Every structure is written in structure tokens, then in C-alpha cells.
Chain A
């Protein structure tokens, strides 16, 4: 298991249903042993990527390579991958152990061996006591774990998970996220996890691949995606963000100013050569997170913004203020997140405030 070798490579993969294209020229490498999440809104093509890899659908063009070998035409039952389906797809007429052992018994493995490995797999997903139950007698979370045990018992090179947590309630979903992550660490198998829930993606993934309208928009660690989004879509889709449109000014070392309707804002461009290379006057956005924005005091020399508090929303550990800023013809809504305090917020609705964020906490996104 070397995290640096590519297990699976998609090379200019396209897919159309009839004349309707759903994937355009996808290039993607999955590293051995990683937990890769494909994140996107519904209709972005993320489930199609998973179905193409699993062999449930044929490619329209391009190729899929496993360890460098082209497997684009390998039939589904020969591919060393197993899928956890969104509806779990447990066989209703088989017990839990029948379901889990199915992948072994169709390969004519000896009964004794199957029984041993089924017991092991059920132990791993903590369902040892439920071996003789039928799927209809299990709760949603238990069915989910049966589906996982059934997928991993064949020791696949890659486990494909198609929004497996979508049907669970919030609390159970959190538990399952931790559970999946710990299982993945334990069995050291590569996971490809498809979801539309960005919180889920941040919590579990080593890397995230953001998709939209059949294209990959960005591939990177959750930290990269959060702090260095490469386009407006990722900046808006991934976590809460403030985006202010403007035109780029001349590069100043590792920073670059942007002229906006709210004034000149200076943002960091460190480690992002494409932002350094963009011409002066190019259209872009200044992007800064609600938690980077704070109330300014007289000594602050960061980017200054002025506005009126339109709304204060208490959200437990933090409080979110919605601030209206800019002139009437270019009104812009900003969000500010600050830790909640037991004696109530220092701010009041309707109050005029002066805000700031440090240049290294702002980033730029080309329009």
C-alpha cells in the first residue's frame, strides 16, 4: 500500500446517454489506499463516474486503467471492485450471513472458509449477533453495515460507495462517517465515496474531487479546497463564503489587490501561480470566509469594510451576523461568524459596524 502509486486512472472518459452528454473528458487518478470523495450537486455526474468504474455502465469514450492495464471493457463481475449501493441492495430472501457470504459462494469457495470469513467480516462491522436475521428485520444503520461487510469480504482493490449515508438521520450519519473512516484505516483499502453533502466530504476524505455539470472543477485535500478554491463554483459550493467581484490590480509579492465596489481589498496569492500570471484588470472575486471577518478596531490595518447589521443568528457555538454593505446600487450581503458568548452578542441589529480581514486570510478566484 503505497499512497503515492496510482491504483486507478481515468483518461479522458466521456459518457452520454443517447445524445445527452453527462461526463466530459474526465481525467482522474485514484491513489492506492486513499479515501477519495467525489462531491457534487445532483446531476453533476458523480454517480455516473462511480458506475463507470464499477462497470455498471459502458464508457462512451476514453479508458479506465487499473495498475496500468486497460479495464474499460472488463465485465462487471470480473472487476476487483465492490459497491455499496445507495439503497443497500441487500438480497431480501437471504439472511445477513447469506448476503455477506454471497460474493464468496459464487466463487465456489469452501463452505467452512466462507463461514469463517463471514464471521470475521460481521465482527468487523459489529454485527456478529445478527448473522441469522433477514434484512427486513434490521434498522437502516445495520443494513448499511451489512452492505459494507458484503462489499469488503471479497477483499476488493477498491470499494465504491454511492451516497450510502443519504437515507440515514443526522446522528446516525455522523456515527457512520466515523465508522467508515475507521474501517477504511483498519482494512487499508481504497474507498471511492460519492456524496452531495460537503460536510460529509470534509469529515472523511483524504482528497475531494468536486464535480459540476459533468466536469471535474477541482481535486485536492479538504484544506486546499476550503482555502484555495480555484473557481467561483468551488468557492461558493464548498463551505460558506463571502465573494466580492472586482478587477485585479498589479501583483505585490505574494499578495495582489483587487478593486471592488467595496473598495480595494488585498488578498494572498501564495502558492497559486495562475493568480500571479493573470493580467491586470482581469475580472475576479475576493473571497474570505465568515470566520475570517471580524469587527475592526482603530489599530487594524487589514482590509476595511463598512456596513449595517441586518440580522444576527445564534447557532450554538457560534453566532452569524448578516451585514449589508456597499452603496444602494451595489448592495452586497456579507456574513461574519464569531464565537458565541454567554452574556449575549456585543452586536445589535441595525448597528453600523466597521469590519476587517487580514490579507493572508483572503484569497482570489478568477471569474
Chain B
């Protein structure tokens, strides 16, 4: 960068700032306006207030949807972390069949969600499984499995093969090696993958709409509310979700940076 002449550096800085403002300022509008009263579609900037948050806390439908979302998220995380880790362990170092498996795991993640959702919906109907929170959890797990699998597999691949050899060499059994060497070295990747999986499950909308029964998750609930018109407590909700998501991302990044690097930096 420093090799560039000064005018072009300034130009680049200006472009970068403009792009950043255009892309990200819409995110801050609901946060800011959640602290003010809105009447007839206009924000009243003169009186800051927390009334939108109070209204949100009293909105029973929203709170129920939030609880549903959390239940689905936690179940999805447990299912996807366990199965993603097992798959990664099974296919690590195995050549045959791995590329096909990876393709299948990644397919739902890469396909348009509406296709994945429809495929699941048809599948559930064929096997006679009632639409419920269970089908939502299954749908989300199929969707986020790729992320967990990939995260754990990458950690496995970066783990030195000699660690496992050293463990056996020192007299450990396969079981001891798994619990005392492999799993502890994977744990931060598993936590990181779990956080990402939770974040993905938290805002998944399309698949959820298609496979859910009578209960709706938070994004689905929001979707329904938007159709009826813009209510100020949505601003508060968006602000809260944004903050929550940022927190999750920071946590995920923390766990996904290898321990070695973290120690060397400190």
C-alpha cells in the first residue's frame, strides 16, 4: 500500500469509506431509531425513549417465537456438532468416498433454501412425519451440517499426525487417545462451529416457513408482522438481534483462531 503515490491512496480511502457507508449504514438506522418514538411513519428525534423496548417485552407473540428459536437453535447445534464431528473423524485421512460425501453435505448449504425446504417438505410428507419443531430441527441440521463438518475437518487436518502417533507410542489405547488428545484439540473448533451453526439456525427463514407446523420461529414471526405493517418494536427487536449476532461472531472468531497463535500474540 505504501508503495502507491499519495493521491491514489486518498482516492482509495475515499472509495473504501463510501462503500462502507453505503453497505453498512442501513444497519444502524433501526438501532438508532429504536431509541426514538415513531409517529405516522416519521421519527421524532427530539425525545429519546426506551418505550419500543418496553413494548417489545410486552409482545407475547414475539417472546414465544424467541423461545422457539432458542429451542430449535440449541437442538440443531447439538445434533449438527455431534454428527458433523463424527463424520469429520470418520472421513479424515480416508480417500475413497470423501469427495462424494462432502458434495452431499454441502449441497443443502449451497442450494437455494427454497429448493432444500421443498425437498424436505416432500420427504417429510412421504414418510408421514407431521410438520412440527422436530422437522424444523432436522431441516436446520441438514442446512448447517456443512459448516460444522468443515470447521472440525480443517482443525483435524491442521493437527499434526505425530500427536496421535506420540500418544500410542506412550502406551495409550485408541480410546484414551481419542478422549485425551484428539477431542481436546478439536474442542475449540467444535465450539466455534457450534456458534456459527446457532447463528445460521437463528435467522434461517425459508426452510423454516416450509417445514414448520403451527409454531413459528423469530424470523418467521417477524416476516408475518412485517406484512401487517411496520410497528416500532420491530426496531428494538432488530437492534437486539444485531447486537446478539455481533456477539456470536466475535465469540466464534475467538474459538476458531488456533490456540498457538493466540498464545504467541499475548
CB of A91 within 8 Å of the partner chain: yes
Closest to A80 in B: B171
A190 to B167 CA separation, bound complex (whole angstroms): 21
A223 to B211 CA separation, bound complex (whole angstroms): 80
B263 and A102 within 8 A (CB): no
CB of A83 within 8 Å of the partner chain: yes
A102 to B177 CA separation, bound complex (whole angstroms): 11
The 8 A CB mask of A82-106 against B (1 = contact, 0 = none) is: 1101110101110000000011001
Interface stretch, picked from B34-42, B88-96, B157-165, B221-229, is B157-165
- The count of residues in chain A whose C-beta lies closer than 8 Å to any C-beta of chain B is 26
User: How many A-B residue contacts, CB cutoff 8 Å?
Assistant: 66
A286 to B160 CA separation, bound complex (whole angstroms): 48
The 8 A CB mask of A61-95 against B (1 = contact, 0 = none) is: 00000000000000111100111011101011100
CB of B260 within 8 Å of the partner chain: yes
CB of B214 within 8 Å of the partner chain: no
A86 to B169 CA separation, bound complex (whole angstroms): 14
Chain B, range 154-194, C-beta contacts under 8 Å to A: 160, 162-163, 165-173, 176, 180-181, 184-185
Residues of A within 8 A of B169 (CB): 54-56, 76-77, 81-83
Residues of B within 8 A of A106 (CB): 167, 170-173, 176, 180
A86 to B165 CA separation, bound complex (whole angstroms): 12
The 8 A CB mask of A127-151 against B (1 = contact, 0 = none) is: 0000000101100000000000010
Residues of A within 8 A of B176 (CB): 106
CB of A261 within 8 Å of the partner chain: no
Q: Distance in Å from the Cβ of B190 to the closest Cβ of chain A?
A: 13
B171 and A92 within 8 A (CB): no
Q: Distance in Å from the Cβ of B13 to the closest Cβ of chain A?
A: 37
A150 to B162 CA separation, bound complex (whole angstroms): 14
A103 and B184 within 8 A (CB): no
A103 to B181 CA separation, bound complex (whole angstroms): 12
CB of A274 within 8 Å of the partner chain: no
Chain A, range 137-191, C-beta contacts under 8 Å to B: 137, 150, 154
B162 and A77 within 8 A (CB): no
Residues of B within 8 A of A56 (CB): 165, 169
B165 and A93 within 8 A (CB): no
A89 and B165 within 8 A (CB): yes
Residues of A within 8 A of B263 (CB): 134, 136-137
Residues of A within 8 A of B259 (CB): 92-93, 136
Q: Distance in Å from the Cβ of B185 to the closest Cβ of chain A?
A: 6
- With A136-B259, A136-B260, A136-B264 already in contact, the answer to whether A89 and B163 are too (CB < 8 A) is yes
- The count of residues in chain B whose C-beta lies closer than 8 Å to any C-beta of chain A is 21
Residues of B within 8 A of A81 (CB): 169
CB of A107 within 8 Å of the partner chain: yes
A85 and B173 within 8 A (CB): no
B165 and A91 within 8 A (CB): no
A87 and B170 within 8 A (CB): no
Residues of A within 8 A of B172 (CB): 77, 102, 106
A75 to B168 CA separation, bound complex (whole angstroms): 9
Residues of A within 8 A of B171 (CB): 77-78, 103, 106-107, 154
A87 and B162 within 8 A (CB): yes
A83 to B168 CA separation, bound complex (whole angstroms): 10
Q: Distance in Å from the Cβ of B31 to the closest Cβ of chain A?
A: 39
- With A92-B259, A136-B259, A136-B263 already in contact, the answer to whether A85 and B166 are too (CB < 8 A) is yes
Closest to B166 in A: A89
B264 and A91 within 8 A (CB): no
A92 and B162 within 8 A (CB): no
A23 to B83 CA separation, bound complex (whole angstroms): 41
A102 and B167 within 8 A (CB): yes
B170 and A150 within 8 A (CB): yes
A76 and B168 within 8 A (CB): yes
A128 to B258 CA separation, bound complex (whole angstroms): 28
A329 to B113 CA separation, bound complex (whole angstroms): 79
16 CB-based A-B contacts, threshold 8 Å: A55-B169, A56-B169, A75-B168, A77-B171, A89-B163, A91-B167, A92-B259, A92-B260, A93-B184, A93-B185, A106-B167, A106-B170, A106-B171, A107-B171, A150-B170, A154-B170
Where the two chains meet, the residues of A that have a C-beta atom closer than 8 Å to any C-beta of B are 54-56, 75-78, 81-83, 85-87, 89, 91-93, 102-103, 106-107, 134, 136-137, 150, 154
Can you add 17 more A-B contacts, CB < 8 Å, to A56-B169, A102-B167, A106-B172?
A: A76-B169, A82-B169, A82-B170, A83-B165, A83-B166, A89-B160, A89-B162, A89-B163, A91-B166, A91-B181, A93-B185, A102-B172, A102-B180, A103-B170, A103-B171, A106-B167, A106-B176
